[in-house]
Amino acid sequence: RIVGINNRDLARFTVSLQTTFDLLRDIPDDRIVVSESGIQSRDDVVRLEKAGVDAVLVGESLMREKDVGKKVKELLGKS
């Protein structure tokens, strides 16, 4: 089972990774947790991973990049 946590407030369109950190404690350990939106850097990925997130959904930060492959490598820590 997969649980996606949307970090974007759809009423105000603000984004905060804190949403994921706040909701993680309420999700059973046997779930796959995906943090969605607001992932901009390797540091974001590392913080989410350390908190127990299993996967991230990255969109906007990739769409803004000229070199998408380079950005993916950066997010994965392979740059």
Q: Residue 38's domain spans which residues?
A: 2-76
Q: Residue type for 21, please? A: F
* Model pLDDT for residues 36-46, shown as the tens digit of each residue: 999 999 999 99
The Cβ of residue 17 has, within 10 Å, a number of other Cβ atoms equal to: 20
Residues in the chain: 79
**pLDDT tens track for 23-78:** 999 999 999 999 999 999 999 999 999 999 999 999 889 999 999 999 999 999 99
> Looking at the 3D structure of the chain, how many domains does it have?
1
In this prediction the pTM is: 0.89
